[in-house]
């Protein structure tokens, strides 16, 4: 690949092309498809090294056979290893496991001049003055890193990472292919593989739902802190708003997947509960624990504690539990969640038949969790005041939301983009990120949000980093920020 990159003009590396930002869409570029870089190179005691084109699904299947697990998988597990690193991808379980960045231990990167960097975490770090040395075919170069600071939230895919004395490897994670092309990745792993229950909870009171999520967050964090084997270990809580549930009903996804959504439901929660690997109950024992959870002599187990939390909240009678060995039911609950973005995308496609310029108009933002209710109100006001049809879903355990416009015409797209920009500025003021887990790509709205987050000077600092690595602007041109105007 080094020779191809060295001897080619504009280059765009693509993987699964699941991007929501246009960053993997070629515009007059030479495309380097990484799907044939599909080898799992080495599985160690606590790491796996794979080529960039390995789908996470295939990697997880191989790891599963060895009792190992890579935790921070995004919702789409067909994403490829190189792509998730390039965007610092995250997903539902970021609440417990963090984003991709925390799990990358090594990278092989091809630079624009054909140089190959083999990076291992901890080997090359910036000095106290914010400089980092990189060796390529022109010799050793000193790179001046950006001075802005990233928002203190669990997810952020917003341009080049920056922090004092940072690791060089972190500069490439989330750079969206603009600094180099990732060819191999070494990920950290956990053993044993978690055993997971799914809980589907359709609720009639949004305030009560938010209180319940707060409780689950607190008890989960206490479980991690104390290493309580009987503690309630929640890896993720996902959230579907009332309009999302309407889409499910309108499309018949509840009937297709056999999921009960009572008529009074205004919010749905999908909870991932992990059980201790060495004490997973049999199906019969699990149902006995659930049925007898409120008895005074009930065993002290994670399932019993979970049921008692739900009973105190007055919602135990509404929960459905898909146990670890009921893979079919778990798949149905996950498919129900996925039916919402699928339903929105289908409606966007229908509008395009009449209005060809209609396109997906959505945000991916995160604020500190203690401002989650305020964030919901912000989106609802911004979209509702403009007369838009919209649905909001996301990873509530992180405070990460995806408000989506359901456009009827081009004007709805324009109004939706204006709402997203306005919300983004408020999210930044809250200490959040208007770009949480999907990256920036070539989307004009997301590039504007990137500028809102880091300011004009921050963008210029990023452009200087880009120019140092890629002086001819050949890699992923137009991604993150426009190309420079050439005389």
> 126 with 212, same domain?
no
Q: Are residues 219 and 171 in the same domain?
A: no
Question: Whose CA is closest to 233, among 272, 270, 202?
Answer: 272
**What's the confidence (pLDDT) of residue 78?**
82
* Residue 24 confidence (pLDDT): 54
| Percent of the chain residues past pLDDT 70, beyond the cut | 95
Higher pLDDT, 17 or 323: 323
- CA–CA dist 344, 346 (Å, integer): 5
For the stretch 192-214, pLDDT in tens is 889 999 999 999 999 999 999 99
320 & 371 share domain:
no
Residue in the structure block whose two tokens are 């140092």: 468
Chain mean pLDDT for the chain: 92
Residue 270 has pLDDT above 60, yes or no: yes
Residues 6 and 133 in one domain: yes
Regarding whether 394 and 406 lie in a shared domain, the answer is yes
Taking only the tens place, the pLDDT of each residue in 443-466 is 999 999 999 999 999 999 999 999
411-421 pLDDT, tens digit per residue, is 999 999 999 99
Q: How far is CA 61 from the centre of its chain?
A: 20
Please determine, for residue 22, whether its predicted confidence score (pLDDT) is greater than 70: no
Residue 16's pLDDT band (boundaries 50, 70, 90)? low
Question: According to the model, what pLDDT value does residue 211 have?
Answer: 97
Vertex 328 angle, CA 240 and 283, to 5°: 105
- Tens digits of residue pLDDT in 210-260: 999 999 999 999 999 999 999 999 999 999 999 999 999 999 999 999 999
Regarding whether 175 and 287 lie in a shared domain, the answer is no
Total domains in the fold of the chain: 3
For residue 147, the 8-state DSSP code is -
pLDDT band at 20 (very low <50, low <70, confident <90, very high): low
What pLDDT sits at residue 33? 79
21 band by pLDDT with thresholds 50, 70 and 90: very low
pLDDT digits (tens, 9 = 90+) for 333-369: 999 999 999 999 999 999 999 999 999 999 999 999 9
For 68, the domain range is 2-191+460-469
In terms of domains, do 169 and 233 share one?
A: no
At 140, the pLDDT band (50, 70, 90 cuts) reads confident
Considering the domain boundaries, does residue 377 fall inside one?
yes
Asked whether residue 91 falls in the same domain as residue 230, the answer is no
Q: With respect to residue 398, please indicate whether it lies within any of the assigned structural domains.
A: yes
Beta strands (DSSP E) in 193-278 are 195-203, 233-240, 267-275
Q: Is residue 295 part of a domain?
A: yes
* Distant-in-sequence, close-in-space partners of 298: CB < 8 Å, separation ≥ 6: 289, 292, 304
- Crossing angle of the two packed helices 242-251 and 327-354, in degrees rounded to 10: 90
**pLDDT at position 439 over 50:** yes
CATH code of 292's domain = 3.30.70
For the residues 135-151, what does the mean pLDDT come to? 87
Per-residue pLDDT, 1: 63
- Supply the pLDDT for residue 157: 94
Which residues lie closer than 8 Å to 349 by C-beta, 6 or more apart? none
Both tokens assigned to 330: 């778990």
266 and 183 fall within a common domain: no
DSSP 8-state class, residue 317: G
Do 206 and 143 have their domain in common?
A: no
Whether 35 maps to a domain, the answer reads yes
- Specify the pLDDT at position 17: 57
Hey, which residues does 178 pair with through a beta bridge?
Answer: none
**Does residue 298 sit in the same domain as residue 369?**
no
Per-residue model confidence (pLDDT) at position 92: 87
- The yes-or-no verdict on residue 18 having pLDDT over 70 is no
Look at residue 180 and tell me if it is in a domain. Answer: yes
Residue 350 lies in a domain: no
Q: Please tell me whether residues 160 and 32 are part of one structural domain.
A: yes
Residue 409, domain CATH: 3.30.70.2740
Q: Which of 216, 256, 211 is nearest to 373 (CA)?
A: 211
CATH number at 35 reads 3.30.465.10
184 in any annotated domain: yes
Mean pLDDT value across residues 266-278 = 94
177-192 pLDDT, tens digit per residue, is: 999 999 999 999 999 8
For 457-464, which contacts have Cβ atoms below 8 Å and span 24 or more sequence positions? Answer: 457/148, 458/146, 458/148, 458/159, 459/159, 461/144, 461/145, 461/146, 461/147, 461/148, 462/146, 462/159, 462/160, 464/144
Tell which wins on pLDDT, 475 or 35: 475
Residue 458 corresponds to which tokens in the numbers above?
């921050």
Q: Is residue 487 part of a domain?
A: no
> Average of pLDDT values for 266-281?
92
**The model's pTM:** 0.92
**165 conformational bin, left if phi > 0, alpha if psi -120 to 50, beta if neither:** left
């Amino acid at each position: 690949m080094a020779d191809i990159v060295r001897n080619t003009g504009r280059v765009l590396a693509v993987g699964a092309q699941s991007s929501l930002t246009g960053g993997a869409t070629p515009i007059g570029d030479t495309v380097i498809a990484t799907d044939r870089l599909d080898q799992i190179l080495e599985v160690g005691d606590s790491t796996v090294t794979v080529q960039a084109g390995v789908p996470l699904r295939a990697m997880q299947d191989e790891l599963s056979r060895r009792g190992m697990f890579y935790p921070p998988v995004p919702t789409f597990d067909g994403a490829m290893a190189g792509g998730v690193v390039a965007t610092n991808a995250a997903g539902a379980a970021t609440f417990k496991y963090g984003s991709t960045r925390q799990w990358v231990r090594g990278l092989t990167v091809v630079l624009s001049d054909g140089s190959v960097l083999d990076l291992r975490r901890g080997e090359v770090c910036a000095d106290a003055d914010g400089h980092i040395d990189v060796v390529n075919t022109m010799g050793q170069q000193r790179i001046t890193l950006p001075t802005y600071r990233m928002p203190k939230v669990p997810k952020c895919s917003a341009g080049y990472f920056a922090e004092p004395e940072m690791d060089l490897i972190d500069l490439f994670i989330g750079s969206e292919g603009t600094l180099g092309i990732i060819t191999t990745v070494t990920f950290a792993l956990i053993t044993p593989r978690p055993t997971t229950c799914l809980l589907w909870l359709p609720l009639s009171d949004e305030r009560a739902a938010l209180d319940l999520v707060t409780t689950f967050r607190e008890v989960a964090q206490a479980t991690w802190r104390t290493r309580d084997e009987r503690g309630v270990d929640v890896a993720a809580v996902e959230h579907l708003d009332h309009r999302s549930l309407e889409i499910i009903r309108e499309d018949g996804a509840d009937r297709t997947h056999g999921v009960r959504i009572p008529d009074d439901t205004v919010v749905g929660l999908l909870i991932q509960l992990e059980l201790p690997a060495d004490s997973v109950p049999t199906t019969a024992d699990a149902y006995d624990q659930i049925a007898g959870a409120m008895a005074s002599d009930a065993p002290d187990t994670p399932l019993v504690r979970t049921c008692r939390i739900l009973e105190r909240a007055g919602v135990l009678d509404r929960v459905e539990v898909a146990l670890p060995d009921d893979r079919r039911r778990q798949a149905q609950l996950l498919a129900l969640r996925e039916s919402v973005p699928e339903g929105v995308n289908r409606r966007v496609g229908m509008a395009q038949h009449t209005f060809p310029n209609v396109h997906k108009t959505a945000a991916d933002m995160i604020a500190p969790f203690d401002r989650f209710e305020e964030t919901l109100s912000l989106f609802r006001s911004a979209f509702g005041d403009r007369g838009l049809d919209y649905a909001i879903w996301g990873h509530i355990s992180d405070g990460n939301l995806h408000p989506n416009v359901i456009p009827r015409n081009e004007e709805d797209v324009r109004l939706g983009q204006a709402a997203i920009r306005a919300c983004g500025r408020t999210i930044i003021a809250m200490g959040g990120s208007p770009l949480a887990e999907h990256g920036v790509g070539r989307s004009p709205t997301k590039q504007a949000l990137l500028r809102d987050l880091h300011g004009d000077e921050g963008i210029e600092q990023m452009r200087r980093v880009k120019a140092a690595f890629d002086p001819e602007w050949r890699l992923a041109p137009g991604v993150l920020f426009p190309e420079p105007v050439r005389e």
